[in-house]
Amino acid sequence: MVRRRVYLQRGVALAMALHVRPEAILVHPQVSDRAELLAQLVGRAVNQPELLRQPELREETMLAAVLAREDECPTGLGYGLAIPHARLPGLRSPAIAFALLNPALDFGATDGEPSDIICLLIVPEDAPQIALQVMAHFSEFLLDATHRQELRSLRDPVIVANYLQANILASQSPILARDIMRPARTEVRPDTPLREVTRRMLAHGADCVSVADENGVLQGVITSDDLFKSGMPPFFQQLRTVSFIREYDPFARYFEGESAKLAADVMTQDYAAVAEDDTLIEVVFLLAVKRYPKVYVLRDGVRVGVIDRFVVLERVVNF
């Protein structure tokens, strides 16, 4: 049976208010490389009132943390957006600085394009969710080419600050499934031969593959466990031990029927699915508590993304 979406209470607010001031905004600064830009942004961020109240936090320390995070993992997100960031122990309030560049600089974005919209975030070590939410709001807003064009056309730091505050930083919404999902690497049709299903799973290193019809509507999933169990008689599910049949070949039945079976014969409809606007807690609940290997993100029944434990570790826990 399809796992029904779990509706939990929404409205989780940012743990700390985040504001960008005009003096922390650079419009077309003259910089020769990424390191010089980051140094200027950190200089603007550290001179904000919140950080001036913590003189023990040195600018050099902050810059080193930002550069180390940048070396560890590029922060370009695509569409010309980059969000360099760092988590700093002892920091009591988050700091933000922003730059519009011309020309753009390489921040290692996955789409291969340089970045000209740069948002620097320095957050307390124990509050990475602030940066995650800002990153999600920026990404969602800038998916619209009109919004990108509007932002790039601004020149006055005061107007830029007001624009960012009204359209992005004022958002109090939680992290959603669409913010962390990734495209699924493989999909099969119900009439795909089982032998081809197995080959694709092996080729993609996937222990779970989705089954969708010609319109992309999700019909079920096939896991490696499903393949293993397809070779065992049904009564095996009730056994506590197999020590009395140690010589039994568990894959004999699998190979007997492999050439004739299709994906539809093996798939299960017991899978986890959420909508794009379902929250991170709902996703983690399905992965960690209900123990589903993957959570499929659906739009009108069509799979638009997938989230597994590795995605959560990579995009959230390892932030």
**Residues involved in catalysis:** 85
Strand partners, 64: none
b (16+ CB within 10 A) / e for 196-228: ebbebbeeeebebbbbbeeeeebbbbbbeebbe
Distance from C-alpha of 168 to C-alpha of 261, rounded to nearest angstrom:
51
SS3 197: helix
Q: How many helices (H) and strands (E) would you count in the chain?
A: 13, 12
Query: Could you write out the DSSP letters of every residue in 7-44?
Result: -----PPPSS-----GGGEEES---SSHHHHHHHHHHH
| Opening angle at CA 73, ends 72 and 77, nearest 5 | 160
Measured CA to CA in angstroms, residue 268 lies from 192, 227, 287, 298 at distances of: 15, 11, 17, 17
Query: Could you write out the DSSP letters of every residue in 75-110?
Result: -EEETTEE--EEEETT--S-EEEEEEEEEEE----T
CB 294 within 8 A of CB 208: yes
Angle between helices 34-46 and 59-72 (to 10 degrees): 140
Measured CA to CA in angstroms, residue 202 lies from 196, 211, 291 at distances of: 10, 16, 22
